[in-house]
Structure 1
């Protein structure tokens, strides 16, 4: 490490300790001071510009101001400090130069890893990609810990835990404790929360659960089973009482889009203590892929409109996996994140079930240097119109060409259909053709054909 880098790291450590001290006392009264401290330490002009943007956003939008103040006032001190240290300091600041170092070896380390230790679940939700799995299909605990340890060594301090149901393996709570400098976000169906689990999460501080909801009781129970909605509400109440940060994940389909983006639904989530919602489109994967359940072109764009409106008109944060792609340079799969399934295949995306490397007993970093991941990154963005980010449903020839060129293999039967089943492939092509003219119109009228192309290339 050079003297300059050593000094910069020392300054950042001092900054982190100062902000942690503020967060431990009265952070809601010192937001401006926190911004000033961060700007004083950061040297990169682009990073400073980003901080200025966030600061102005906080000061000029009352809803954003109220949102930040609510987090600072209602979140348990241990949880808020862990979020700052693990996510902002470790993942964003200290992890970045470590991740960049692999570029010299021809790889590119993602910011986030999605990990599915188990595909088992206590529910059988319609359209879920998980399907039927047994305990024998789980990744052994020692292997889970090896993967997380290697990821951390590569500068990855943010892990999203999927499944299946992440809380089905109770030992994961011990894993979160062991890697207490890493931020974990388990996506959960919310049926396995007890006061004991909630107490443990409060003590850990480095876990932010995301509850899956398809809407109110009618919509959620219709897909997930009777009584699931009430279980989720109970889980939310347990975490809210303890000041544990949590959010909501909603899969949007033709039957529930208007519900999960409605003012009534968002207001209910805010009242329950949720801090954010992550919207996904229903994708044609899983045991019985159903294209008819996917959003229409009009609905898909309307989801983006509502997402942007909610986060500026309410004290709440929303992310739209597809419609927010202009802000991150298009598709980020294989570039800023990847998924390791329960068989330890390294996939570029939770919805793209193809792999060219299995990490069982092999170094994780080699996955990011494979020709498969290099080819994916070299082609991104797949379309100049960043509202057409996906290689599977927007630019359907891309996945077929990439798999053929690199020899990647399908990790799920539904994935094989995308490159082998003529009827299914034609359905996907028709879906893409219908959306393209609507996306072109929105790209011009809403985004003025401008996006964050800087983030589209990392190699």
Structure 2
């Protein structure tokens, strides 16, 4: 698998783009995680990976989206540059760029060009990636578009709320691949696309098209338009995990996940401190689906000191890790509300209904399914996760044995469905 993937990438991708990926993301990313681990030993937390939603606006209207996509909030270039430079000064080199739709931000390309020694992953629907934009992305060389595809033609239109979505997205995807840009495809796995896209046939199609990696994450019913009918059952969550580990060991395409360590133990990147989120107003949030904050990137102390010293983020990490290895929002929305009230955190949405949305949630299973752990099969993923994507000791003091036993009984009682 690995030699075939490497050969395919070398043949299809621009050599300068590969070099930027290897150095800015690979080498410097690993060093960033090592600095993160040293900070943890000192009792300090600053994530090695930051995700920035630089704009609210989006051209699509996806089912269950929690972003205020009809609004026009965005972070200006000067603030973005200052934030990235401060994080860089403390060892960070990788940044995830989200929206809304990031390519609707008028200064996105300027942002990428301003930081040639960083690496950016852009979460996008791909529809604004014209031939001209793709050429510019290749020239800059320090980014990878992660293009979301939510189904074949019919399901894509249904999931994304517009017409001809898949064809428009594939045009953007092909523009990237034609220019030799390292490009991925992301899918939010849900009830309406699991049979279409969680298949070897689909991955083989992506490989033939020239896609370099895939990212399967699972739909999370949150926000003002939460759609419980789309959410996966526990047995389907296990199916996703098993599929990912199987395909990683067999196919020449990299597959990303963010919910498990090398032994198949569930984790939450927010709880472990490996990642936090910055919203389109500059608010510093625990993660993208927790739309509350007490801090902002506009604080004169800078992003490093502000996040390091945030009592709100610290409490979120610790309380979440104490109660679950999964998603605290899905499993314990009451705890999220408790912390929001305790810290007097502000609702960072434009709609102003985030607290009421927590009240409306029904607790459900997330990725933590005790007794259903599936370890990585491929040695490369096992090693990478052991050293650079684990729980970093976040759950060491939690004593989850009793909670895990109770959850296992609940799974049995529900027939894992």
Is the 1:116–1:164 contact (alpha carbons within 8 Å) kept by the matching residues of 2?
yes
Q: Classify 1:110/1:326 alpha carbon distance in 2 versus 1 (closer, same or farther; 3 Å).
A: farther
Q: TM-score, normalised by structure 1?
A: 0.75
Residue in 1 that maps onto 2:87: 151
Choose which of 178, 189, 196 in structure 2 pairs with 1:252.
189
- Render the CA deviation track for 1:53-84: whole Å, top value 9, x for unaligned: xxxxxxxxxx2221122112221111001011
Separation in structure 1 between the aligned mates of residue 118 and residue 236 of structure 2, nearest angstrom: 37
Secondary structure of the 2:226 match is coil
Residue in 1 that maps onto 2:119: 183
* Counterparts of residues 272-283 of structure 1 (less than 5 Å): 272-283=209-220
Which range moved further: 174-183 or 254-263?
254-263
Is the 1:216–1:265 contact (alpha carbons within 8 Å) kept by the matching residues of 2?
no
Separation in structure 1 between the aligned mates of residue 57 and residue 317 of structure 2, nearest angstrom: 31
Question: Structure 1 residue 107: deviation in Å?
Answer: 3.0
Is the 1:79–1:205 contact (alpha carbons within 8 Å) kept by the matching residues of 2?
yes
Q: Classify 1:252/1:132 alpha carbon distance in 2 versus 1 (closer, same or farther; 3 Å).
A: same
Residue in 1 that maps onto 2:47: 110
Question: Structure 1 residue 336: deviation in Å?
Answer: 0.5
Question: Structure 1 residue 442: deviation in Å?
Answer: 1.1
Instruction: Establish whether residue 442 from structure 1 lines up as the match of residue 372 from structure 2.
Output: yes
Question: Structure 1 residue 171: deviation in Å?
Answer: 1.8
Is the 1:284–1:291 contact (alpha carbons within 8 Å) kept by the matching residues of 2?
yes
Separation in structure 2 between the aligned mates of residue 372 and residue 85 of structure 1, nearest angstrom: 34
Separation in structure 2 between the aligned mates of residue 417 and residue 368 of structure 1, nearest angstrom: 29
Secondary structure of the 1:417 match is helix
* Counterparts of residues 27-426 of structure 1 (less than 5 Å): 63-93=1-31, 95-96=32-33, 99=36, 107-135=44-72, 137-224=73-160, 225-322=162-259, 330-333=267-270, 335-362=273-300, 363-365=302-304, 366-379=306-319, 381-382=321-322, 388-412=325-349, 413=352, 415-417=354-356, 419=358, 421=359, 424-425=360-361
Which range moved further: 71-80 or 103-112?
103-112
Is the 2:223–2:357 contact (alpha carbons within 8 Å) kept by the matching residues of 1?
no
Q: Classify 1:327/1:370 alpha carbon distance in 2 versus 1 (closer, same or farther; 3 Å).
A: farther
Question: Structure 1 residue 376: deviation in Å?
Answer: 2.9
Secondary structure of the 1:208 match is strand
Question: Structure 1 residue 158: deviation in Å?
Answer: 0.4
Moved over 4 A (4+): 96-106, 323-329, 451-454
Question: RMSD between aligned alpha carbons?
Answer: 2.9
Q: Classify 1:339/1:370 alpha carbon distance in 2 versus 1 (closer, same or farther; 3 Å).
A: same
Structure 1: runs of 5+ lacking an equivalent: 1-62
Q: Classify 1:105/1:281 alpha carbon distance in 2 versus 1 (closer, same or farther; 3 Å).
A: same
Is the 1:282–1:294 contact (alpha carbons within 8 Å) kept by the matching residues of 2?
yes
Q: Classify 1:238/1:161 alpha carbon distance in 2 versus 1 (closer, same or farther; 3 Å).
A: same
Which range moved further: 375-384 or 177-186?
375-384
Secondary structure of the 1:442 match is coil
Is the 2:50–2:96 contact (alpha carbons within 8 Å) kept by the matching residues of 1?
yes
Question: Structure 1 residue 372: deviation in Å?
Answer: 1.7
Q: Classify 1:154/1:223 alpha carbon distance in 2 versus 1 (closer, same or farther; 3 Å).
A: same
Query: Which has more radius of gyration?
Result: 1
Question: Structure 1 residue 397: deviation in Å?
Answer: 4.7
Structure 2: runs of 5+ lacking an equivalent: 377-384, 397-417
Is the 2:185–2:214 contact (alpha carbons within 8 Å) kept by the matching residues of 1?
yes
Residue in 1 that maps onto 2:414: none
Separation in structure 1 between the aligned mates of residue 230 and residue 80 of structure 2, nearest angstrom: 34
Tell me which protein shows more helix as a share of its residues: 1
Which range moved further: 406-415 or 345-354?
406-415
Which protein, 1 or 2, shows the higher relative CO under an 8 Å CA cutoff with sep ≥ 6?
2
Separation in structure 2 between the aligned mates of residue 378 and residue 361 of structure 1, nearest angstrom: 24
User: Aligned pairs, how many?
Assistant: 380
Q: TM-score, normalised by structure 2?
A: 0.83
Is the 2:186–2:216 contact (alpha carbons within 8 Å) kept by the matching residues of 1?
yes
Secondary structure of the 2:330 match is coil
